[in-house]
Amino acid sequence: MAGNLSSTVAPVSSSLSRLQALNGLFAVYKKQGPTSADVLNALKEALLKEAGVQNPNPRKRRKQSLKMGHGGTLDSAASGVLVVGVGNGTKMLSTMLTGSKKYVAVGELGKATDTLDATGSVILEKDFEHITRPDVEAKLKAFTGDIMQVPPLYSALKKDGQRLSVLLKKGHKVEAKPARPVTVYNLTLLEFKPPLFTLDIECGGGFYVRSLVDDLGKALSSCAHVKELTRTKQGQFTLQEHALREEQWTLEHILRSLQCCSEGELEPEPPEAET
């Protein structure tokens, strides 16, 4: 019996050791629906199961068998690139939070929601028939470069240790955070088919696409909210070339795409934050 036991344990131990030896960054595709934390937990569970760990609990933080984090929250309704740090790679995630990102956003004119996206309740409706494509393109110029932006109330930003979105859902009154400096490197109108319009956005850390679309609607003497949002690039990771789909969440696929980190690149590990 002892011989049989050791022969079954050894491969599991070997697979888990390979997994725990990973250090670096890679990207996965986050679909619409789950939170970024849900995606991270599903990824950890898939990898631990592949390594032979029985009944893995990715949410259990004590004595973690696999150290992993992500570099900036995507809203549950959004999809696209989610950068993941594994092992010492988690210490590099601060560069993902502050670095450049690209998004494609579909906005809808004429309706504003409490969350600034399609998941919320409509709180205002206004006419939009007067808005033309040149109008939108002209207003976009004011949102390019170094600007000041007020973050959404429904966000991952925290007050007294709790996320604002959680406090709002509990019925607490929450005051808007003050405007803060953000950078928009490029902002282009890709398509204009009222009430829908599509923006291509390249921005720095701390920028909220939902706030941009809300502010743009107001600037056009109407209102607007985000209908769809896709992150197409984060740092050096692109949606087309680097983001691993769910069926690719295996050790071999990660080994092929992992960008390893050297000791000189390591930085203090940041808290997770929405960008």
* Residues acting as catalytic residues: 75
CA–CA separation, 235 vs 9, rounded Å? 39
Question: How far is the first Cα of the chain from the last one, in angstroms, to the nearest whole number?
Answer: 54
CA–CA separation, 213 vs 256, rounded Å? 37
Inter-residue contact 145 to 181 (CB < 8 Å): no
Residue 186 CA from chain centroid, whole number? 19
**Block residue for tokens 């309706």:** 111
Which runs of E-coded beta strand occur in the chain?
24-30, 68-70, 79-86, 101-109, 111-113, 122-125, 145-149, 158-159, 162-163, 180-193, 196-203, 224-234, 237-238, 243-244, 259-260
Q: Work out the widest C-alpha separation in the chain, in whole angstroms.
A: 80
